[in-house]
Structure 1
Amino acid sequence: MGLLRGPLASLLLLLQTQVCWLPSLASEPYLADFGEAEVTLEVGGTDLEPSQALGKVALTGCTGHEMHGAAHGEVTVLNSGTVQANDNAPEFEPQKYEAWVPENTVGHDVQSLTVTDLDAPNSPAWRATYQIVGGDDGDHFTITTHPETNQGILTTKKGLDFEAQNQHTLYIEVTNEAPFVVKLPTATATIVVHVEDVNEAPVFVPPSKVIEAQEGISIGELVCVYTAQDPDKEDQKISYHILRDPAGWLAMDPDSGQVMAAGILDRENERFVKNNIYEVMVLATDNGSPPTTGTGTLLLTLTDVNDHGPLPEPRQITICNQSPVPQVLNITDKDLSPNSSPFQAQLTHDSDIYWAAEVSEKGDTVALSLKKFLKQDTYDLHLSLSDHGNREQLTMIRAKVCDCHGHVVTCPDPWKGGFILPILGAVLALLTLLLALLLLVRKKRKVKEPLLLPEDDTRDNVFYYGEEGGGEEDQVGHWRVRRRHGCSPARDGSVWATQ
């Protein structure tokens, strides 16, 4: 048995292999009695189990295996044992709308559309589905259903351009999630969208400009002209400025957009130039209200000139002064071909007297060799290299010559005795001088006479005079004798004298 509650528009009853057409019934409860068989109602993919019988209803046209028809559409299960069909179409209230949208805005809510539906709320037969059926040739808009209010929310998918089209008329159609079980008219709303003009930023044409410029051009020389266009219809003045110039090589005229050299463009500057390209960002600002600014990128492809000479690497060598092995140096040049290899080399400032320089067959290396014997020391070589464009570069090479044979990495340490011998010689000379001084002093002491004579000689040669003897004349004579012989008077007034 199957219990159904109306109202019903049409229903499919499946009984074993029989499909029966059940016409529209009254809203009163009814009972479909199929005798001994078990009845299951398939409603939108959901089975309704048999329930208690409330009355009997006679079915016609369901005898044998004859198919008398089938219902088209789906019904909705409202609750246990209750079935509802989508037999009411949603209607717009109101049917006409008018909205204003600023240009260039994406995701802007344009308008909310309201509908009414007599079907049960929050059922698939009540929930609305909106679709734009006309007026959006550029695919600028989209519409979705609000999950709670069931309203249609119209938003911008792309920015609108006032200068291209300042008004759009859209036609919106509404249906339900569940299809209609009978043919019903579809409601349509009309929305007129007005685009509001705003001051748009100037646009550089092209946004990224690639030009060629020769490195090393004179300061003030014209590099290029880079200008922007104003999307607005008003005649606005545009001024130009440089936003980012890493090396400070360029300047821009604010009125004409002319770009000129303000420094020396150097292609070989690895800090600012990548793959021969120097990147600069410029600005264009209009005088609108408020002012707006656009940016552009200037890509300068720098062409090479022969402004760098070749350089050897490394610039220090170590070589033996006996059977020396030539020292090979790599040659590098920042310039591109044909301003680079093959290179030529020669020694200058008399460096070729003891040294020789020879460039390899490929022309990218030079070998330095010692021609004559040199004592162990450090020497400076003047090496002149020139490239294929005859750009010459003079480089000083520091050469350390070692007392050794063949190949050497570092010079062997010299014998430390060479420092000791001069010290020993100085010590010996000092000792000799001290010895000579001692001998001279000793000799002088032996030659010097004593100040006092022996006692016996004194008695024989010295006369004694007392205080009472002799007169003044004698005393004077005595003093003369003393002065002549170098004697001194005694304490008692007598005088010692020597014959």
Structure 2
Amino acid sequence: SYQYNVPESLPVASVVARIKAADADVGPNAEMEYKIVDGDGLGVFKISVDKDTQEGIITIQKELDFEAKTSYTLRIEAANMHVDPRFLSLGPFSDMTTVKVIVEDVDEPPVFTSRLYSMVVSEAAKVGTIIGTVAAHDPDASNSPVRYSIDRNTDLERYFNIDANSGVITTAKSLDRETNAVHNITVLAMESQNPAQIGRGYVAITILDINDNAPEFAMEYETTVCENAQPGQVIQKISAIDKDDPPNGHQFYFSLTAEAANNHNFTLQDNKDNTATVLTKRNGFRRQEQSVFYLPIFIVDSGSPSLSSTNTLTIRVCDCDADGIAQTCNAEAYILPAGLSTGALIAILACVLTLLVLVLLIVTMRRRKKEPLIFDEERDIRENIVRYDDEGGGEEDTEAFDMAALRNLNIMRDTKTRRDVTPEIQFLSRPTFKSIPDNVIFREFIWERLKEADVDPCAPPYDSLQTYAFEGNGSVAESLSSLDSISSNSDQNYDYLSDWGPRFKRLADMYGTGPDCLYS
């Protein structure tokens, strides 16, 4: 015998067990068939044959329920499919076995008493009105209490509430059948002991109609009357609609309002079939006198209580052809073929003249101030900052400025070349110097630099600030500046340094005038 344990949640058509009868034969003689011959699971299980392995496969035909039945016993027979008649006396060629199936309990979600609940409520119901009740229970042996809630994804506007303990559904806000006639919501039932177990029930709530909408025109009518229309001529047939849905259908009644009942232009005839006809009462309509008429029409429905509304029918007077087809309905077009009224043309001309006056006023003010009409941004230098970023040269800077300017101003050179590039070493004869008063030296010194800058093609195109410093008068040693000492035009003789001994040999080599010192 065999015994198998299966959970009660096992889906239908799932395999419960595989059994096999032993047979020493091979090939076709070993082919077998299985069948359930007895037991309490005849309608719950079935058995079939695996052609490749000759096994009997037991599967589920109906859902299992531990609370209803905890075990099943099956009597299964296995027999050869092909029996040689010569060996029938050796039979029978079959065998029996017993299979016991144990159903295991599984924690199941709550189950509703109905898959779908249908409820109705009037759209006039007040907030808190009871609509109906749903019920669910825990199918497990523990029978855990159940709590209810509404899946808000199915009730986004929150029209309904449900009592968590009793399952009573009530209205949470005013209802409108014309907006939504049927509400389909999902109710959730949750186990108190295991909130993960959730059952779902479905509720369809139908909203009953009340007469809360007045009738109105079925469409926007474009009604015309010809200038040559005769009295009693039909110019429009109208109908009405109502958003409500009464059980016996709609019935509308048409009439003119009290203030329009005695007009001399049009009349109204109720056709008693939810339509009405508008007719003329006179002839001689002229667009020049009145191009548009407004006819107020009173419409009442048959609801309880009945509702009514006043709708205005706009009627235009038109020029029609011989067949009564409107050709032109614009009174202004008849008076002014250009398409614009006199008032519109005057308004346009006034705007143009106003603009011209403003332009002339601006031009006049500009001329008085002697200012250009177009502002020149390049001439406005009120807040412009010009940055040159020129730095004074040090003792080793011989490219940008003439460092020989830092000399004793007691003497003045007759000629001076500008040093804006690296100087080349040349053999030059010493210039002739002359002593002149300090104020003359300073004035001529500045004029000399000015003339050099004016004729120098390499000078920058902008103004630059140059500082010329002098050391004063009365120095016996004259200028001690190393910048002046290395100048090729210096008149200082340093040959006596060679007579001062080996300690001054380095200086003698640097400042000597011999040929071997030219590149030191």
TM bin, normalised by shorter chain, reads: 0.5 to 0.7
Give unpaired runs (5+ residues) of structure 2. 347-520
Answer yes or no: is 1:112 the counterpart of 2:27.
Answer: no
Report if aligned partners of 1:348, 1:384 keep a CA contact under 8 Å in 2: yes
Report if aligned partners of 2:126, 2:174 keep a CA contact under 8 Å in 1: yes
Matching of residues 381-400 of structure 1 within 5 Å = 381-389=295-303, 390-400=305-315
Give how far 1:97 is off.
1.2
Give how far 1:162 is off.
0.3
- Aligned partner of 1:318: which letter? T
2:176 to 249, 266, 269: 266
- Aligned partner of 2:261: which letter? D
Residues 353 and 215 of structure 1: CA distance in aligned 2, closer, same or farther (over 3 Å): same
- Aligned partner of 2:166: which letter? S
- Aligned partner of 1:177: which letter? M
Give how far 1:101 is off.
0.5
Residues 408 and 232 of structure 1: CA distance in aligned 2, closer, same or farther (over 3 Å): farther
**2:335 corresponding residue in structure 1:** 418
Q: Distance in 2 between matches of 1:144 and 1:297?
A: 39
Q: Distance in 1 between matches of 2:64 and 2:16?
A: 12
Q: Deviations over 1:238-268 (max 9, x none)?
A: 1222222366432222221111112333333
Please state which structure has a larger fraction of its residues in helix: 2
- Aligned partner of 1:284: which letter? A
Report if aligned partners of 2:318, 2:327 keep a CA contact under 8 Å in 1: no
Residues 285 and 130 of structure 1: CA distance in aligned 2, closer, same or farther (over 3 Å): same
Residues 97 and 314 of structure 1: CA distance in aligned 2, closer, same or farther (over 3 Å): same
**1:334 corresponding residue in structure 2:** 243
1:357 to 268, 290, 306: 268
**1:304 corresponding residue in structure 2:** 209
Report if aligned partners of 1:225, 1:258 keep a CA contact under 8 Å in 2: yes
TM-score (ref. length: structure 2):
0.56
Give how far 1:186 is off.
2.8
Give how far 1:315 is off.
3.1
Q: Cα RMSD between the aligned structures?
A: 3.1
Report if aligned partners of 1:338, 1:388 keep a CA contact under 8 Å in 2: no
Q: Distance in 2 between matches of 1:365 and 1:395?
A: 15
Secondary structure of the structure 2 residue equivalent to 1:218: coil
Matching of residues 434-453 of structure 1 within 5 Å = none
**1:314 corresponding residue in structure 2:** 219
Residues 417 and 126 of structure 1: CA distance in aligned 2, closer, same or farther (over 3 Å): closer
Answer yes or no: is 1:368 the counterpart of 2:278.
Answer: yes
2:199 to 290, 294, 297: 294
Report if aligned partners of 2:137, 2:143 keep a CA contact under 8 Å in 1: no
Matching of residues 193-342 of structure 1 within 5 Å = 193-243=101-151, 244-245=154-155, 248-269=158-179, 272-273=180-181, 277-289=182-194, 291-320=196-225, 322-323=229-230, 324-337=233-246, 341-342=250-251
Q: Distance in 1 between matches of 2:118 and 2:337?
A: 73
Give how far 1:416 is off.
4.5
Please state which structure has a larger fraction of its residues in strand: 1
Q: Deviations over 1:36-63 (max 9, x none)?
A: xxxxxxxxxxxxxxxxxxxxxxxxxxxx
Secondary structure of the structure 2 residue equivalent to 1:124: helix
Question: Kindly, what percent of the aligned residue pairs are identical?
Answer: 27
Report if aligned partners of 2:297, 2:313 keep a CA contact under 8 Å in 1: no
Answer yes or no: is 1:150 the counterpart of 2:51.
Answer: no
Q: Distance in 1 between matches of 2:251 and 2:240?
A: 10
1:124 to 25, 28, 39: 28
Residues 211 and 412 of structure 1: CA distance in aligned 2, closer, same or farther (over 3 Å): same
Q: Distance in 1 between matches of 2:134 and 2:50?
A: 49
Q: Distance in 1 between matches of 2:28 and 2:195?
A: 50
Give how far 1:225 is off.
0.9
**1:167 corresponding residue in structure 2:** 71
Q: Deviations over 1:452-475 (max 9, x none)?
A: xxxxxxxxxxxxxxxxxxxxxxxx
Residues 400 and 223 of structure 1: CA distance in aligned 2, closer, same or farther (over 3 Å): same
